[in-house]
Each structure stands twice: as structure tokens, then as C-alpha cells.
């Protein structure tokens, strides 16, 4: 279930960190100030289109606004490898070694 209060809270926190007023965010995102206010208060269900407009306007990832989880490449890679089978890791290492051997990938052993 989507918690619109947390989405609104994250939008408000980001907006404030950018020193933007609701009116300024409204102008940037082309969304009415009243609608922005209701979103931030968690009183308004938000469509994905609207969420994307707001996210782009404040330079935030829409997935973060929904989940509260920031995308971090390192965490993504750790997640993949923490859940990977030993066969997958072995094949991945072989692929990296082959790319290194061909001079495509410059990594230190």
C-alpha cells in the first residue's frame, strides 16, 4: 500500500532543502499550489505522472519519493551479490577476467 503521507513528507523535505516555496515548486512543476499543499500534507493521492513532474522539479528520484529508499549503485551491486548463487558469482568472475584479458576492462586483481 502506498503511504501518501510519507511521499508528501519527502517532497516537502526536499523542497525545503532547496529553499523553494510551495508557490515556486508549483510554478516549476506546472501543478497548482493548492495541489502541492495537499500532496505535501498527504491528503492527495498522486498519479505517477504528477509524481514524476514533482520529482523532476526538485531533482529527486520518484522511486525514492515512493519508497524512501535512495538508489545507490553500490547498494544495488551488494544486493545482487548478497542474493546471488555461487555459480552466478563464479560465472561473473570468469566474464570479468575475460574482459580484462581482452583489454576491454582495466581492473586490478
Lowest mean pLDDT among 14-18, 31-35, 91-95: 91-95
Nearest in space to 4 (alpha carbons), one of 56, 58, 41: 41
| Residue partners of 20: CB distance under 8 A and separation at least 6 | 28, 58
The domains of the chain are located at 4-67, 72-109
Confidence at residue 74, expressed as pLDDT on a 0 to 100 scale: 64
| Residue 13 confidence (pLDDT) above 70 | yes
What average pLDDT does the segment 4-8 reach? 95
Architecture, CATH, for domain 4-67 = Orthogonal Bundle (1.10)
Do residues 14 and 58 lie in contact, with contact meaning Cβ atoms separated by under 8 Å? yes
Q: What distance in Å separates the CA atoms of residue 46 and residue 26, rounded to the nearest whole number?
A: 15
Determine if the pTM surpasses 0.85: no
Amino acid at each position: 500500500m502506498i503511504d501518501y503521507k510519507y511521499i508528501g513528507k519527502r517532497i516537502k523535505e526536499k523542497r525545503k532543502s532547496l529553499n523553494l516555496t510551495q508557490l515556486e515548486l508549483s510554478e516549476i512543476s506546472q501543478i497548482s499550489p493548492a495541489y502541492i499543499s495537499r500532496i505535501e500534507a498527504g491528503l492527495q493521492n498522486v498519479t505517477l505522472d504528477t509524481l514524476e513532474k514533482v520529482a523532476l522539479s526538485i531533482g529527486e528520484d520518484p522511486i525514492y519519493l515512493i519508497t524512501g529508499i535512495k538508489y545507490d549503485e553500490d547498494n544495488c551491486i551488494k544486493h545482487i551479490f548478497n542474493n546471488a548463487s555461487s555459480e552466478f558469482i563464479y560465472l561473473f568472475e570468469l566474464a570479468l577476467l575475460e574482459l580484462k584479458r581482452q583489454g576491454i576492462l582495466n581492473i586490478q586483481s
